[in-house]
C-alpha cells in the first residue's frame, strides 16, 4: 500500500499493517517477535484475554503437556532458556502458561496484541494485493500478509447430543475450562471422552467427586507418564546444551531428543530382545515406547507385538475383569491414535465410586434434565464434563471466513479435505500462511520445534519478499497437488489411517476422512523447506 493509500485507509477508519497474525499462542508469539525484528508493522488478534493459546484455554484439572518440558520450550533465545527453570519432567498447564506470560513480558509482545478479539473474516483483494481482516469487535484492518497461528487443537467441540440444552446441571468442556476452576466435591459427575484430556482429568475429578461415571467410546492405549520433579543437575545441564539440542531435535523425525528410535525391525530381533526393548521404554515413560523398533508404525505384525505388550501392562493394573474388557483397546494399532500418558488413570477404575460405560456398545442417546442416557439407561449426574476433543487442524482456520482470489472460499476449497503446499500455503490464497498447517508434521511432532521451523521459514520468506520488491507469494496448483498426493502416499504406507482418529477427521461426523499431518518426519520435512527456499521458493509463484 502506498503512503497515500495508507492515509486514505486511515481516514476511512481502516488501519493498515504489513502483517496480521491470528492467535497468540506459542506460534503467534514467536511470529510476532520475528516479524517486528524485520521492521514490519504487525497486529496480532487473539480471542482470549491473555497469551497462551492451547495453554490459555485448557485449564482442566490435570492438564499437562505430553512432551517433556525441557523440550517443550522455545529454542530461539539463549536468554530465555537460561532464565526459565522448569520444575517437572512434564510441565502442568499453569507452569506452561506462566512461561508464556514470562516470554510475552520479556519480549514486550502485548503492545502489538489485541486481546478478547476473534477474527471473523479475511478477504483478499487482487487489485490492491491486500487482505482485509475483520473481527467480532468491529475492527477492519488491511494487511499485506495474513498468518494463521490458530493452533491445531483449538476449536473445542461438544458433540451434537440431543437434549444437551435441557440439562439442568453444570456442563464444561475441557478445552474451554473456567478460569476460576470447578469444585466437584460431593457431586455426581459424568465425563464423556477418554482421549488425553479425559485420561488426565478423570483421576483428579475422581478424587473430589461423590460418584464418577466415565463414558468411553474408544478404549485408548495409555502408558505411564513417569512424571517426576526435575533435579537441579538436569536443569543446569539442559541450559548448557539447549540450543544445540534444539538443532539436534530438528534433525529427528519427531522433533524430540529425549529418546532415540531403534532402527532394527521387529523380525530382526529375538523375542527376548524385543521384550527387553519394550519393557525398558515402557518403564521410561512417554512416547519412547513407539521407538522400540523400526517398523512399529509400519506393519500390523510388528505393531501387534507392541500392542499385546501394552495391553498386558494395562491389564495388570485393573482389578475387575469386566472393566478390563471395556478399558483394553482392541480396535486399532498402538500409536495410531495419540497415545495417552497415564498418571493413575487405570487405577482410578479400581475405586468403588467410579464406573465406566461403554458407549461404543451403547451410544449416548440423549442428555436429559438430570443425566445421560446410554443403552436405554439414564445415568443421573450433577455435572457433565465434555472431554470430547476438537475440530482438529482445520477447525480454527476454517472458523475464519477466508476468501482468496476470485472470490474463492477456503471452506469450499477444503470441502473434501485440506489442500496445502507444505502445510504453509494454499493455491488461490496469496500471502496467506498457516503455521503448522495440515500437510506439515505438526501434531505428529514436538509442536514447538515445528512452530519454530515454520516461523523461521516464513520470516525468511517475508524478508525475501519485502526486500526483493515481490508483491505476493502463492502456492502453484501443481505444487500443491503433488504435495497433497505425497502426504497421502506417505500416510498410506503407515498404519495411521487404520484408526478413527482426529488425525483423520474421524471424530467429527461428516468431516472428510483425510490423514492431515505429514508423516515423513520433521527432519525430512525441514530439508524440503530448505530446498524450496534455496530454489527461490520453488512451487510458489512470486509476483512483482
Ligand atoms: P480427543 O483425543 O479427540 O478425545 C476426545 C474423546 O471424546 C475421545 O475419547 C472420543 O472418542 C470422545 N468422543 C468424541 N465424540 C464423542 C461422542 N459423540 N460420543 C462419545 N464419545 C465421544 O481430545 P482430547 O482433548 O482428549 O485430546 C486432544 C489432544 O490434546 C491429544 O491427542 C493430545 O495431543 C493433546 P473417539 O476416540 O473419537 O471414539
Q: Positive or negative, the Cα torsion across 86, 444, 455, 406?
A: negative
Q: Do the Cβ atoms of 368 and 163 come closer than 8 Å?
A: yes
Mean pLDDT of 52-68: 97
CATH for 423: 3.50.50.60
Site to probe by mutation for ligand 1, drawn from 65, 155, 197, 394 as the one with most ligand atoms within 8 Å of Cβ, is: 197
Strand 432-434 to 130-135 pairing? unpaired
| Alpha carbons 149 and 28: distance in angstroms, whole number | 5
Residue 389 Cβ contacting ligand 1 at under 6 Å? yes
Residue 438 Cβ contacting ligand 1 at under 6 Å? no
Site to probe by mutation for ligand 1, drawn from 60, 159, 195, 511 as the one with most ligand atoms within 8 Å of Cβ, is: 195
Please, which pLDDT band fits residue 469 given cuts at 50, 70 and 90?
A: confident
What would the pLDDT profile of 242-269 be if each residue is shown by its tens digit?
888 889 999 999 999 988 889 999 999 9
Query: What distance in angstroms lies between residue 528's CA and the mean position of ligand 1's atoms?
Result: 32
Name the residue at shortest CA distance from atom 30 of ligand 1.
Answer: 196
If one counts every other C-beta atom within 10 angstroms of the C-beta of residue 237, the result is 12
Residue 173 Cβ contacting ligand 1 at under 6 Å? no
Q: Look up cell 465425563; give the residue.
A: 191
Residue 201 Cβ contacting ligand 1 at under 6 Å? no
Query: Which atom of ligand 1 lies closest to the CA of 58?
Result: 25
Query: Which atom of ligand 1 lies closest to the CA of 192?
Result: 21
| Alpha carbons 518 and 439: distance in angstroms, whole number | 5
Please, which pLDDT band fits residue 4 given cuts at 50, 70 and 90?
A: very low
Query: What distance in angstroms lies between residue 54's CA and the mean position of ligand 1's atoms?
Result: 16
Q: What is the 3-state secondary structure (H, E, C) of 95-116?
A: HHHHHHHHHHHHCCCHHHEECC
Mean pLDDT of 41-68: 97
Residue 7: the pLDDT is 44
Instruction: Name residues whose C-beta falls within 8 Å of residue 311's C-beta, 6 or more positions apart in sequence.
Output: 328, 329, 330
Mean pLDDT of 36-48: 97
Q: Look up cell 527461490; give the residue.
A: 536
Q: Specify burial of residue 165 (Cβ count, 10 A radius: 0-12, 13-18, 19+).
A: exposed
Query: Which atom of ligand 1 lies closest to the CA of 198?
Result: 26
Residue 6: the pLDDT is 45
pLDDT for residue 2 is more than 60: no
Work out how many domains the chain is built from and give that number: 1
User: Does 318 reside within a domain?
Assistant: no
| Alpha carbons 138 and 142: distance in angstroms, whole number | 13
User: Does 361 reside within a domain?
Assistant: no
Residue 159 Cβ contacting ligand 1 at under 6 Å? yes
Query: Which atom of ligand 1 lies closest to the CA of 500?
Result: 38
Query: What distance in angstroms lies between residue 509's CA and the mean position of ligand 1's atoms?
Result: 13
User: Does 194 reside within a domain?
Assistant: no
What would the pLDDT profile of 400-438 be if each residue is shown by its tens digit?
999 999 999 999 999 999 999 999 999 999 999 999 999
User: Does 228 reside within a domain?
Assistant: no
Residue 200 Cβ contacting ligand 1 at under 6 Å? no
pLDDT for residue 11 is more than 70: no
Residue 441: the pLDDT is 97
pLDDT for residue 5 is more than 70: no
Name the residue at shortest CA distance from atom 33 of ligand 1.
Answer: 196
Query: What distance in angstroms lies between residue 173's CA and the mean position of ligand 1's atoms?
Result: 11
Query: What distance in angstroms lies between residue 541's CA and the mean position of ligand 1's atoms?
Result: 39
Query: What distance in angstroms lies between residue 221's CA and the mean position of ligand 1's atoms?
Result: 13
Name the residue at shortest CA distance from atom 25 of ligand 1.
Answer: 389
Query: What distance in angstroms lies between residue 14's CA and the mean position of ligand 1's atoms?
Result: 41
Average pLDDT for the chain: 95
- Grid coordinates in use for 105? 513480558
User: Does 379 reside within a domain?
Assistant: no
Name the residue at shortest CA distance from atom 32 of ligand 1.
Answer: 338
Strand 188-192 to 170-173 pairing? unpaired
Please, which pLDDT band fits residue 13 given cuts at 50, 70 and 90?
A: low
User: Does 128 reside within a domain?
Assistant: yes
Mean pLDDT of 59-75: 96
Q: Do the Cβ atoms of 486 and 479 come closer than 8 Å?
A: no
Select the more confidently predicted residue: 381 or 238: 381
Site to probe by mutation for ligand 1, drawn from 372, 507, 513 as the one with most ligand atoms within 8 Å of Cβ, is: 507
Query: What distance in angstroms lies between residue 538's CA and the mean position of ligand 1's atoms?
Result: 38
User: Does 531 reside within a domain?
Assistant: no
Domain ranges, residue 18: 3-155+391-475
Residue 294 Cβ contacting ligand 1 at under 6 Å? no
| Alpha carbons 306 and 174: distance in angstroms, whole number | 30
Q: Specify burial of residue 270 (Cβ count, 10 A radius: 0-12, 13-18, 19+).
A: exposed
What would the pLDDT profile of 173-217 be if each residue is shown by its tens digit?
999 999 999 999 999 999 999 999 999 999 999 999 999 999 999
User: Does 267 reside within a domain?
Assistant: no
Query: What distance in angstroms lies between residue 193's CA and the mean position of ligand 1's atoms?
Result: 5
pLDDT for residue 145 is more than 70: yes
Residue 502 Cβ contacting ligand 1 at under 6 Å? yes
Query: What distance in angstroms lies between residue 388's CA and the mean position of ligand 1's atoms?
Result: 4
Query: Which atom of ligand 1 lies closest to the CA of 389?
Result: 23
Kindly state the percentage of the chain with pLDDT values over 70: 98
Query: Which atom of ligand 1 lies closest to the CA of 392?
Result: 3
Amino acid at each position: 500500500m502506498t503512503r497515500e493509500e495508507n492515509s486514505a485507509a486511515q481516514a476511512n477508519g481502516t488501519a493498515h499493517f504489513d502483517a496480521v497474525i491470528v492467535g497468540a499462542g506459542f506460534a503467534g508469539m514467536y511470529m510476532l517477535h520475528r516479524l517486528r525484528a524485520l521492521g514490519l508493522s504487525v497486529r496480532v488478534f487473539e480471542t482470549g484475554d491473555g497469551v497462551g493459546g492451547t495453554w490459555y484455554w485448557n485449564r482442566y484439572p490435570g492438564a499437562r503437556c505430553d512432551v517433556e518440558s525441557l523440550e517443550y520450550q522455545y529454542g530461539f533465545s539463549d536468554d530465555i532458556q537460561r532464565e526459565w527453570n522448569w520444575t517437572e519432567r512434564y510441565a502442568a498447564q499453569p507452569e506452561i502458561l506462566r512461561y508464556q506470560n514470562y516470554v510475552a513480558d520479556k519480549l514486550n509482545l502485548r503492545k502489538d496484541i489485541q486481546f478478547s478479539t476473534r477474527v471473523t473474516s479475511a478477504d483478499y483483494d487482487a487489485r490492491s494485493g491486500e487482505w482485509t481482516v475483520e473481527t467480532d469487535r468491529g475492527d477492519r484492518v488491511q494487511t499485506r500478509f495474513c498468518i494463521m497461528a490458530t493452533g491445531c487443537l483449538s476449536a473445542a467441540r461438544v458433540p451434537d447430543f440431543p437434549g444437551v440444552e435441557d440439562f439442568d446441571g453444570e456442563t464444561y468442556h475441557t478445552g474451554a475450562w473456567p478460569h476460576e476452576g470447578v469444585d466437584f466435591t460431593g457431586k455426581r459427575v459424568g465425563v464423556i471422552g477418554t482421549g488425553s484430556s479425559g485420561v488426565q482429568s478423570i483421576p483428579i475429578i475422581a478424587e473430589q467427586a461423590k460418584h464418577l461415571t466415565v463414558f468411553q467410546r474408544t478404549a485408548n492405549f495409555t502408558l505411564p507418564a513417569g512424571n517426576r520433579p526435575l533435579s537441579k543437575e538436569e536443569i543446569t545441564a539442559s541450559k548448557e546444551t539447549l540450543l544445540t539440542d534444539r538443532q539436534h531435535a530438528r534433525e529427528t523425525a519427531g522433533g524430540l531428543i529425549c529418546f532415540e528410535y531403534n532402527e532394527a525391525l521387529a523380525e530382526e530381533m529375538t523375542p527376548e530382545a524385543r521384550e527387553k526393548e519394550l519393557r525398558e521404554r515402557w518403564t521410561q515413560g512417554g512416547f519412547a515406547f513407539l521407538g522400540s523398533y523400526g517398523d512399529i508404525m509400519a506393519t500390523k505384525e510388528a505393531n501387534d507385538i507392541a500392542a499385546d505388550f501394552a495391553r498386558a501392562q494395562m491389564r495388570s493394573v485393573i482389578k475387575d475383569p469386566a472393566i478390563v474388557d471395556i478399558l483394553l483397546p482392541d480396535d486399532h494399532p498402538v500409536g495410531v491414535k495419540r497415545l495417552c500418558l497415564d498418571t493413575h488413570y487405570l487405577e482410578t477404575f479400581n475405586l468403588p465410586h467410579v464406573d465406566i460405560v461403554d458407549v461404543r456398545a451403547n451410544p449416548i442417546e440423549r442428555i436429559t434434565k438430570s443425566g445421560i442416557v446410554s443403552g436405554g439407561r439414564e445415568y443421573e449426574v450433577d455435572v457433565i464434563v465434555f472431554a470430547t476433543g476438537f475440530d482438529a487442524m482445520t477447525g480454527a482456520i476454517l472458523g475464519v471466513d477466508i476468501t482468496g482470489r476470485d472470490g474463492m472460499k477456503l471452506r469450499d476449497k477444503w470441502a473434501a479435505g485440506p489442500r496445502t503446499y507444505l502445510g504453509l500455503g494454499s493455491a488461490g490464497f496469496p500471502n496467506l500462511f498457516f503455521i503448522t498447517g495440515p500437510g506439515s508434521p505438526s501434531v505428529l511432532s514436538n509442536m514447538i520445534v515445528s512452530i519454530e521451523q515454520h516461523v523461521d521459514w516464513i520470516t525468511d520468506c517475508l524478508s525475501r519478499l519485502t526486500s526483493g520488491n515481490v508483491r505476493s507469494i502463492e502456492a502453484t496448483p501443481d505444487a500443491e497437488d503433488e504435495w497433497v498426493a505425497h502426504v497421502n502416499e506417505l500416510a498410506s504406507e503407515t498404519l495411521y489411517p487404520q484408526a478413527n482418529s482426529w488425525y483423520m477427521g474421524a471424530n467429527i461426523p461428516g468431516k472428510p476422512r483425510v490423514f492431515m499431518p505429514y508423516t515423513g518426519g520433521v527432519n525430512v520435512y525441514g530439508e524440503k523447506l530448505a530446498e524450496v527456499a534455496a530454489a527461490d521458493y520453488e512451487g510458489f509463484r512470486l509476483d512483482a
